[in-house]
Amino acid sequence: MENDILEKEAAIIDALREEISGNYGNDRGCMIPILQRVQNALSYLPRDAIAMVAAHLGVPVSEVYGVATFYNQFRFNPPGRYPVKVCMGTACHVKGGDIILENFERRLEIKEGETTPDREFSIERVACVGCCALAPVALIGDEVHGHMAPSKVEGLFSRIQIQKEIEERKKNESGN
């Protein structure tokens, strides 16, 4: 999965290589800011991008992996078009956040940290999103959905489906 990067992504990595050699130094302290920049542009760290960072800093690829895998922020799978994030903060746990996570996993047939093969959905567990009064909470993209329940999971997917259909229709109309 890590190997099949898209052409578009390869182009971004090339552009990033330029940008990074121009804007960042090559001392060790720059590693995390550079990785953050790369992830910002690509939404994840593909193997080629890690190799590029390692070349820039003049350290082995394994060193970069070592640092990147240590931190929760970095991900190595491309996120889906609709990234699902389930809050696993304390309040959400007490109110059954794990049940919500399970429902998403069951519905999408992937585990947390994975992306559906069509790259439409991905599931992640996140630390407290800070709206404990709405627990349990899940996010789809940046949209927060509070007081989650298993039946609401189903409802959210129907909503996304409807939105997609509307977009499709609009696209077709504007095309005509």
Partner 1 sequence: MNPGTKENIAAQLERLREEAFRRQDQLRRSPLPKIHIGLATCGIAAGALETKAAFEQTLAERNIEAHVHTVGCLGHCYAEPVVIIEHPESGFPPIFYHEVSPGKAKMLTKMFIEGGDPRFEHVYGATEVNDMIPSVMDFSRFNLEKRVIMDKCGKIDPDDIYEYIAEGGYTALAKALQKPRRQIVEEIKASGLRGRGGAGFPTGVKWEMALEAAHDEKIVICNADEGDPGAYMDRTLLESNPHQVLEGLMICALAVGAQEALFYVRAEYPLAVKTLGRAIQQAQELNLLGEGILGSAFDLKVEIFEGSGAFVCGEETGLIQSVEGYRGMPRHRPPYPVQKGLNDRPTVINNVKTLALVPPIVTRGSAWFRGIGTEGSPGTAVFSVVGDVVHAGLVEIPMGVTLRTLIFDICGGIPNQKGFKAVQIGGPSGGCLPESFLDTPIDFDSLTEAGAMMGSGGMVVMDEDTCVVNVSRYFLDFTQKESCGKCTFCRIGTRHMLRILDRLTCGTALEDDLDLLSKLAKEIKAGSLCGLGKTAPNPVLTSLKYFRDEYEAHLTEGRCPGMMCRPLTAFYIDLDACARGCDACAIVCPTDAIFTTSTRKKGIDQSLCVKCAECVVACPPEYDAVRKVSPASLAPIIERPDKPVSEDDEDAATGGTPPEPGEGGA
Interaction site with partner 1 (CB under 8 A):
27-33, 35-36, 66-67, 70-74, 88-91, 93-94, 96, 99, 102-103, 106-107, 126-135, 137, 144, 146, 149-151, 153-154
Q: How far is the CB of 85 from partner 1 (least distance, A)?
A: 11
Q: How far is CA 155 from CA 101, 126, 151, 175, in A?
A: 15, 21, 6, 30
Contact 113, 80 (CB under 8 A): no
Residue 81 or 93 having the CB closest to partner 1 = 93
Q: In what order do the strands lie in the sheet with 143-145?
A: 121-126, 82-87, 138-140, 143-145
Q: How far is the CB of 93 from partner 1 (least distance, A)?
A: 5
Residue 106 or 171 having the CB closest to partner 1 = 106
Instruction: State the residue for tokens 């077709």.
Output: 172
Residue 28 or 169 having the CB closest to partner 1 = 28
